Amino acid sequence: MKGLLFTYLLTYGGATASLFNPFLGLLIYVCFAIVKPESMWYWSVPEGNYSRIVAVGLLLGWIGSGFGSWQFGRARGIVYCLIGYWLWSVVAIAFGTDNERSMRFVESQAKIVLPFLVGITTIDSLQRVKLLAWVMVLSEGYVALEFNLAYYSGYNRLWEEGFGLMDNNCNAIALVTCVGLALFLFLHAERWWAKSVAAAALLLIAHAIFFSFSRGGMLALTVTLFVSFLLIPKDPKHYLLFALAVVILLRLAGPEVTQRFETTFAHAEHRDQSSQSRLVLWEACWQCMLQHPQGVGPDHWPLIVEQYSFPRGKEGHTLWLQIGAELGFPGLLLLLSFYCLCLVRLWPLTSDRSSVADPWCFHLARMVFAALIGFMLAAQFVSLKGLEHPFYIVLIGATVLKLQHLPVHNVYESEAAGAISGTHPGY
């Protein structure tokens, strides 16, 4: 019943409020993209167009506001790469054989691109950027909480059935994307209860990754934590907090998790069938790219995989190479540029030597940098073309780039004039 009330309240209340404040609709849309009410509370929430209803209110509010501000600053190239990627997917329809399938892919990507554009044009303060980060962490933390509750009750729902039409591997990658956000919110939140909430979300998410038994997820978690360690401020307090988090995580990882992770680095003669088949699939995707540089059509790899001696419908088990096969070198280049340009532009902000309006620019830049490195590595192991999390993480980074040089009073002035909550900037 609680799930039904939560879903209806956010859907219809949020859609109405979005007409006057599209940013509020964006937060609800992101929450639904992660929590997936129909899957989370499948026994009480009927199938429905909840996200679509929120999106309609969100887009109407955005149109009514004059489409926000299109002054992107140093985020301009990131935005253009995303728009170019989507436009190329429209062009690539001509290269495929199943137009209906191609159109479904284009539509699914539009459901990511449009909210991204709403966010980059309407987020006008660091306070709003932090709210977006908190919504992502709290939403993924709640999903991880449900996974943990099922696990300790004797049923590993994540491993046995997955969640939201995604298997254990895909869900592990979704969880990994929020680890960097939770970690840096934990390190830099100024109030003890906010630190506690971020720490709880971090531990729940990391533990869920462990019992997902996803080797790609575990590897990405390790890399995310390593990159985070390199980026944290050279302050004994932060090192102590980081060490405490790592010790607890290592304690949560049991022998079964350790043994599963070690098989990632096994020699060729000792690899299991799953690992070996991935390598063959990756090689097939690369051969397809060489034979069809323009791509074979959006979401068409499962239709042509038989040409490479795999059963029809087989996914490539790699985001990057499968996108390369389907959208060709142009599509892959635009998508990689979207992520890599964000990393390159944020790199100077990971150091305290840069000149910024507010120290939270540093904290947000570091969390995005660590999260994206982890995701980009993990994405090599799964075909996650529709995962929305990393796009919204880039949105956090892009808005930091957009706002980094605004004077402090301007950064928070707009929030004071049209605040959606009474949270303190230090949260």
Q: Let me know: does 105 contact 89? Beta carbons within 8 Å.
A: yes
Residue 213: its pLDDT value, please?
85
Token code pair at residue 269: 């003669």
CA dihedral 366→197→199→1, nearest 10 degrees, is: -110
75-121 pLDDT per residue, tens: 999 999 999 999 999 999 999 999 999 999 999 999 999 999 999 99
In the prediction, which pLDDT does 225 show? 87
Tally Cβ neighbours within 10 Å of residue 128.
Answer: 24
Q: Give the residues across from 163 on adjacent strands.
A: 166
More confident residue, 312 or 426: 312
For residue 122, give the amino acid letter.
T
**Nearest Cα to 385, choosing from 294, 305, 302, 312?**
302
- The predicted-structure confidence for 320-370, as pLDDT tens digits, reads as follows 999 999 999 999 999 999 999 999 999 999 887 777 778 888 999 999 999
pLDDT digit string, tens, across residues 44-67? 899 889 999 999 999 999 999 899
Which range of 187-191, 247-251, 421-425 scores highest in mean pLDDT? It is: 187-191
Kindly report the backbone phi and psi dihedral angles of residue 166, in degrees, each rounded to the nearest multiple of 5, phi listed first: -125, 145
Lowest-confidence range among 6-15, 223-232, 239-248?
239-248
Distance CA(406)–CA(73), nearest Å, equals 11
242 contacts 187 by C-beta, under 8 angstroms? yes
Q: Where do the structural domains in the chain lie, given as residue ranges?
A: 1-67, 72-417
Backbone φ and ψ of 136, nearest 5°: -65, -45
What would the pLDDT profile of 1-26 be if each residue is shown by its tens digit? 788 999 999 999 989 999 999 999 99
Taking the C-alpha atoms of residue 283 and residue 303, their distance in angstroms, rounded to an integer, is 17
Contacts of 262 (CB under 8 A, 6+ apart): none
